[in-house]
Structure 1
Amino acid sequence: MKISIQNLQLKYGSFTAIENLNLDIEDGEALVLLGQSGCGKTSTMRCIAGLEEPTSGRIIIDDVVVFDSEKGINLPPNKRNVGMVFQSYAVWPHMTVAQNVAYSLKQKKLSKSEIDERVMEALTLVGLEPYADRGASLLSGGQMQRVALARSLVMRPSVLMLDEPLSNLDARLRDRLRVELREIQLQLGLTCVYVTHDQHEAFALADRIALLQGGRIVQMGAPQHMYEAPASASIAHFLGVSNIMDCTPEGTAAGSTTARIANSELTVQSAQLASDAGTSPKVCIRAEDLQITAMPTEHPNSWPGTVRVAGFQGNDIRYAIQLESGPELDALGGLRRGEQHKVGDRVWVTVNPREVQILPAEVLA
């Protein structure tokens, strides 16, 4: 089902949670609302579901106007055919898995045969069919989250909304359930709205990502595009870019820009032109794009430094490297590339100009 949000605004007194938001979500699309706490992502989802009444604007689901401030339309949640999965499992411990999933269907007074059929269908989708008769209090956290998902899927919603559903789980289980959620969404062709503050979760689940700051969408696009081309330094930082430095562009030649890092003698070459970086440009370099060697190279961006911290991370080592003529850089060395160095080692740090971005501090209005 397609969702259209037009000029949506939500205020709590003098505080504006959502500011003039416009968004179209295509039929069968998985859209992730990504952002820090308080950016308006959960409020946006709750407005779509009918759990929050916007101050103004219009929301259309499958060509049905479910909210229109000017016409006084505000359909209740049960009239919107929207399924919700929350951060809290809200599983009844005194019921079995099947009874938890069947509860809403019983409230609709469906026949027992239809309830049984739909419950088993939902449990099979989430991999809980063998646990149908198990007491919910005996489930693990991951299994409880699957029950919560099945409870929404059993209603056969046109739109599935998930509000940080994996945040209470351990890292390995989160990784596995991300894949399972994506498989279910693709298998059913569900239009899906997913709220998270975790960029890795967003990259894994989304067809498109809408990144919110201060109640407005500051960038939208496919995961790979968002990763490779953040619109501002603040977005790059949120998406995991750890080396962000104030700079002054000094000139452009042969399709590249030279910039001087603030409060240092370090100059950096970028293959990107800095004409759109505004009045507060910043150099942004990902830790994984830095190459670390024991000997100097002849690349334009190659600087000597000393290893201050080396943290083992399995296949990688995370380094803090203090440059001799500049700032400290965060770098990720690959053990398989032979990039293994000790604290106190003198090294050379190199980055390709294509991997250096010069961005405005914030999205230009």
Structure 2
Amino acid sequence: MKITIENLQLRYGKFTAIDDMNVEIGDRESVVLLGKSGCGKTSTMRCIAGLEQPTAGRITIGDTVVFDAEAGINLPPNKRNVGMVFQSYAVWPHMTVFENVAYSLKIQGIGKTEIKQRVHEVLELVGLEDFASRGASMLSGGQMQRVALARSLVMRPDVLLLDEPLSNLDARLRDRLRIELREIQLQLGLTTVYVTHDQQEAFALADRIALMQDGIIVQMEDPTSMYLEPASASIAHFLGVSNVHPVNPAADGMWTISGSNLVLASATEVRQTGEDLRACFRSEDLLLSRDGVPGANSWRGTVKVSSFQGSSIRYAVDVGAGVTELDVLAPLGARERFQPGEEVWVTINAGAVQVLPQSPAPQELRAAVAA
């Protein structure tokens, strides 16, 4: 079921939570609203669900206008056929798994035979078919979250909304449930809107990611494009690019890191000119060695910290000249290992260096969302 959001605004007094949002979510598409706390992503989801009344704008689900400020339309949540899974499980501990999932169907007056059939279908879908008679208070966190998901799916919603449903779970369980959620979404062909601040979760679950800052969608792309081509340095930093440095243009298309004599070459297109530019490069694209030659993208430094991280080793390298330490991530199987205090050479391929504006231009924001 397609969702169309037009000129959506949500204000609390002088504070603007959502600022003139225009976006279309396709039928059967999974869109992840990604951003830090307070950026407006949960407010957007609550407006779609009918749990918040926007200040202005229009929301359409399928062919039904569920909210229109000018026309005075505001359908209640139970008239929108939208399922919602919250961060808190909200599972009734005094009921069994079956009773938790069946409760909303009973409220609707659906017959016992159909209730039994639908509940068992969704319990099998979420992997809880053997737990139907178990008391909810005896479940693990992951099992409770599956109950919450089943309770939404049993209503056969046109749209499924999920508000950081995995944030209370441990890392390994989150990884597994991400895959299961994606499988369920694809199997049922659900239009899904998922809220998270976790970039890995967004990459795993999205057909498209809408990255939000200060109530605005600043970039909307498929996960691969978002990862490889962030529209600004602020977006790159949020997506895990830890090496972000102000730069100034130098001769022959080169750049110097501001406040230093370190020279950078970039083989990627610079899409915006101006003073507020940043060189962005990922930790895993930097290489460390004991020998090197000074020049563009090759600098001498000293290892300050060496941190073992299981499959990789993270180094903090001081390259001097007033530059913040570089963050370097090397695979565990790297040929050379380095200790704090050791002198090294840091190099990076020009193709791995992106020169980006600190913030995307307004026209780029409109084009990104329209696409």
**TM-score bracket relative to the smaller structure:** over 0.9
Match of 2:36?
Answer: 36
CA distance in 2, matches of 1:55, 1:223: 31
Aligned to 1:216: 216
Q: Which moved more, 1:260-269 or 1:275-284?
A: 275-284
- The equivalent of 2:308 in structure 1 is 312
Are 1:264 and 2:269 counterparts? Answer: no
Structure 1, residues 331-350: CA drift from partner, whole Å, max 9, x if none? Answer: 00112232421111211111
In structure 2, the partner of 1:279 is 275
TM-score scaled by length of structure 2 = 0.95
Distance 1:135 1:92 in 2: 9
Match of 1:237 in 2: 237
1:330 has 2:333 as partner: no
Counterpart-to-counterpart distance in 2, 1:37 and 1:323: 33
Q: Alpha carbons of 1:275 and 1:216: their partners in 2 closer, same or farther (altered >3 Å)?
A: closer
Distance 2:305 2:50 in 1: 50
> Does 2:42 correspond to 1:50?
no
The 2-side partners of 1:204 and 1:272 are apart by 26
Are 1:348 and 2:318 counterparts? no
Counterpart of 1:194 in structure 2 is: 194
Partner of 1:75: 75
Pick from 298, 302, 313: which aligns with 1:302?
298
CA distance in 1, matches of 2:308, 2:286: 17
* Aligned twin of 1:62: 62
Residue of structure 1 in register with 2:8 after alignment: 8
Q: Percent identity over the alignment?
A: 65
| Range with greater deviation from structure 2 (323-332 or 64-73) | 323-332
Write out per-residue CA displacement over residues 264-306 of structure 1, whole angstroms, 9 at most, x where no aligned residue: 1111111134350432111111101111112215884111111
* Cα distance in 2 between the residues matched to 1:290 and 1:310: 15
Offset from partner CA, 1:221-266 (integer Å, 9 cap, x none): 0001111111111111100000111111124x4xxx3111112111
- Equivalent-residue separation in structure 2 for 1:176 and 1:298 (angstroms): 45
The match for 2:365 is none
Hey, what's the Cα distance between the residues in 1 that align with 2:109 and 2:248?
A: 68
1:361 corresponds in structure 2 to 358
CA deviation string 1:298-344 (max 9, x = no partner): 88411111111011011100110111444410000112232421111
Secondary structure (helix, strand or coil) at the match of 1:247 reads: strand
Q: Against the structure 1 CA distance between its residues 49 and 319, is the aligned structure 2 distance closer, same or farther, given a 3 Å change threshold?
A: same
Structure 1 counterpart SS, 2:67 = strand
User: What secondary structure is seen at the aligned counterpart in 1 of 2:117?
Assistant: helix
- Secondary structure at the aligned position of 1:110 is classed as coil
Secondary structure, in 3 states, of the residue corresponding to 1:10?
Answer: strand
CA distance in 2, matches of 1:322, 1:208: 37
The aligned residue for residue 143 of structure 2 is 143
* TM norm structure 1: 0.96
Unaligned ranges ≥5, structure 1:
none
Q: Secondary structure of the residue that 1:224 maps to in structure 2?
A: helix
Aligned residues: 361
Structure 1 stretches of 4+ with a deviation exceeding 6 A read none
What is the alpha-carbon distance in structure 2 between the residues aligned to residue 307 and residue 34 of structure 1? 34
Q: Does structure 2 retain, via aligned residues, the 8 Å contact 1:264–1:327?
A: no
Q: Is the 8 A contact 1:58 1:68 kept in 2?
A: yes
Q: In structure 2, what is the Cα distance between the partners aligned to 1:335 and 1:170? A: 24
CA distance in 1 between partners of 2:227 and 2:121 (Å) = 37
Match of residue 177 from structure 2: 177
| Corresponding residue for residue 203 of structure 2 | 203
Q: Unpaired segments of 5 or more residues in structure 2?
A: 363-371
- State the match for 2:288 in structure 1: 292
8 Å CA contact 2:248–2:275 kept in 1: the answer is no
Distance 1:297 1:127 in 2: 57
Preserved contact between residue 294 and residue 300 of structure 2 (Cα < 8 Å): no
Assess, with a 3 A threshold, how the Cα gap between structure 1 residues 130 and 220 changes in structure 2: closer, same or farther.
Answer: same
340-349 or 318-327, which moves further after superposition?
A: 318-327
Contact 1:2 1:61 in 2 (8 A): yes
Residue from 313, 317, 340 that aligns with 1:321: 317
Give the SS at the match of 1:43.
helix
* Structure 2 contact 262–296 (Cα < 8 Å) conserved: no
| Residues 275/174 of structure 1: CA separation in 2 closer, same or farther (3 Å cut) | closer
